[in-house]
Structure 1
């Protein structure tokens, strides 16, 4: 099955579309993924600004939510059409859309609800393809955290590796999946990935810059140990797994409240401190779990200062990228949702209850039919337990029209 996975993370800056062929192995029960490439487009600036103005802790209206749901859905539909044309030669069979998370209702260590915008009807109408969307709510309804949902795909990808492998994604929020040798797997959000760094850069540049490109500001600064200690007192870091968080906690106002008790810091020192905070909290989360290797993905891996700090904090534990597993670090999350969409269409669970805290495995998401009559495939004889990434497929990126 040829599938397009659509993803926009908590940085709320762009939509990624990754295409792949997924083939169930008849003998080994593995799901074989053949990457076909990725395309990415930033949100149109008016939409990005409207989205930023509506995110917590800002107040918004139902009219704003309706407009955002439509415009985000249209943006997802446009890039899905492009991915089908440029990566799939117009032969995509399924689109799996994560949507844009705008609120994750977490309180008292429990998630009570979650909201992703990007109406799938716009994607189905634009592409003519069946769309699977709304993955998180079913896990939440079953008592889970609804995040990180890629935990099941991480388990499939890492299962069988020696030692205690871990997957790390550094988006706006950082999350990990760890596969211990003699214990159940665990997955959770460690805390801010790029969220606070980006918030500081936006504020310091009066909105002219969206992020610390190549870690240039952090590289020019020095970590303020007092501010770092103060920020490490955040109670979230001591909650037991599974736990999840988002921009509902780590936002511009959160950052301002912590800066209030300190004299004005040089901009580069503030960014260096926040970069160290991300590296420290990730390493502190992984250390007790005994990770022996870490495979990183997400936008954070493009920041050389962050990755250097993370290597130092991990103190000898190898830090690699998912490229070594066959999945480009920038596209890994989009590929993961392509896999989850495939599982849903085949009637297979897409959550890992031990990772999210759900009471059991659940088939995730809702299905929006495309232009053709909806015919669901039957489940495979054996549910896939592992994910094998193969690079032997034809490079179909040459099929784009001139």
Structure 2
């Protein structure tokens, strides 16, 4: 099947579309990347989205408007991906949507909300759409995240030692595929969330992120601020666990800054960058991982990656590109795989990773222009994923 995976992460700056040809052969999924296209959110839409996110208040009117406009943005990019990457022959679109709220209380996830109505995608492309992938895992008692853990486990299976997949988006998440025992996955804490928040606030909105890690490279880590931030109780909680920008946002960082002496902006950015590297490395050591394969926007920050190498103290660090999977498209490809499993009637979760009671088939399906015909359910689920040459 030719499948388009659509993704916009917690940086909520753009929509990515990755296309792949996915085939089930024996106990393996064969994924052949067909390319990726990306488009930034229109400035007005991104501004409205940021203004509605926690801890800011919003209205149902604004949620409805954002659901429609984000759905239209996803639809436009899906149509482009079909034309440019699939020669107009895509079989399925899988949309993660835009996460706007993850309802976590006392360590339990009670609900999750990803907006971007799939009806707009189905109407614009004529293709069936799998969406709302996280809710079923939450309903089954899971955290709803990290949802790509099954992809990571199948992809890393057979590598030597104890490999781990690390995604550095707004939030950092880790999947560890031990050679024996159940795999484990969890959000380690912020990746770029606090870095982006600090840069935006301390430059009065002139910059949205630390391009090439330049600000952090010019600054010095403030030990007192780092210590206050490391006191966050989330880091000590056992997995499975999940977090988001509901916790790690500018007012959260502002409170930590107000408790100490004033700092230059560069030192603040350097310190929160070190916080990401330290908390990720602490999580890696706690799991016994021997190799880290990183992806996500954070790998384009050389200062963060240098700090992470230092904090990992010799644990091998490479990117998914080194294993043949384009790092910028990795999450979109992962959601394409989850959608493939859905239409095959196969579970898309690993209970030991999300905390769900049982594996569950994920998502809801919106029909395309033609009658919806699902394939016969696969006889058995795949256990490994191979990335094939494009």
Shift of residue 289 of structure 1? Answer: 1.1
CA distance in 2, matches of 1:141, 1:324: 36
Task: Provide the residue aligned with 2:15 in structure 1.
Answer: 15
Shift of residue 380 of structure 1? Answer: 2.1
Equivalent pair of 2:4/2:336 in contact (CA under 8 Å): yes
The CA deviation string for residues 78-117 of structure 1, in whole angstroms up to 9 with x for no partner, is 0001111111111111000000000000011100000000
Unaligned runs of 5+ in 1: 394-402
| Paired positions, count | 390
Shift of residue 382 of structure 1? Answer: 2.3
The CA deviation string for residues 113-160 of structure 1, in whole angstroms up to 9 with x for no partner, is 000000000000111100000000000000000000000000010111
The CA deviation string for residues 227-271 of structure 1, in whole angstroms up to 9 with x for no partner, is 001100000001110000000000111011110012221111110
The CA deviation string for residues 279-308 of structure 1, in whole angstroms up to 9 with x for no partner, is 000000110111111000000000000000
SS at match of 2:327: coil
Shift of residue 179 of structure 1? Answer: 1.1
SS at match of 2:15: strand
SS at match of 1:199: helix
Task: Provide the residue aligned with 1:33 in structure 2.
Answer: 31
Task: Provide the residue aligned with 1:398 in structure 2.
Answer: none
Matches within 5 A, 1:18-97: 18-26=18-26, 29-97=27-95
SS at match of 1:91: coil
Q: Which runs of 4+ in 1 moved over 3 A?
A: none
Task: Provide the residue aligned with 1:343 in structure 2.
Answer: 341
Task: Provide the residue aligned with 1:143 in structure 2.
Answer: 141
CA distance in 2, matches of 1:207, 1:345: 43
CA distance in 2, matches of 1:336, 1:130: 18
CA distance in 2, matches of 1:65, 1:48: 13
CA distance in 1, matches of 2:231, 2:5: 37
Match among 366, 369, 374 for residue 367 of structure 2: 369
Matches within 5 A, 1:185-264: 185-264=183-262
CA distance in 1, matches of 2:19, 2:177: 27
Task: Provide the residue aligned with 2:357 in structure 1.
Answer: 359
TM-score of the pair, normalised by structure 1: 0.96
Moved more, 238-247 or 202-211: 202-211
Correspondence 1:169 to 2:167: yes
The CA deviation string for residues 342-380 of structure 1, in whole angstroms up to 9 with x for no partner, is 000111101111100000010000000000110001122
Correspondence 1:114 to 2:112: yes
Correspondence 1:313 to 2:280: no
Shift of residue 56 of structure 1? Answer: 0.3
Match among 276, 279, 287 for residue 277 of structure 2: 279
SS at match of 2:101: strand
The CA deviation string for residues 50-87 of structure 1, in whole angstroms up to 9 with x for no partner, is 00000000000000000000000000000001111111
Correspondence 1:3 to 2:3: yes
Task: Provide the residue aligned with 2:290 in structure 1.
Answer: 292
Matches within 5 A, 1:323-338: 323-338=321-336
SS at match of 2:19: strand
CA distance in 1, matches of 2:100, 2:168: 18
Correspondence 1:181 to 2:179: yes
Shift of residue 166 of structure 1? Answer: 0.1
CA distance in 2, matches of 1:64, 1:385: 42
CA distance in 2, matches of 1:76, 1:389: 25
Shift of residue 33 of structure 1? Answer: 0.1
CA distance in 1, matches of 2:19, 2:136: 25
Task: Provide the residue aligned with 1:399 in structure 2.
Answer: none
Shift of residue 180 of structure 1? Answer: 1.6
Shift of residue 23 of structure 1? Answer: 0.9
Equivalent pair of 2:345/2:378 in contact (CA under 8 Å): no
Shift of residue 183 of structure 1? Answer: 2.3
Task: Provide the residue aligned with 1:99 in structure 2.
Answer: 97
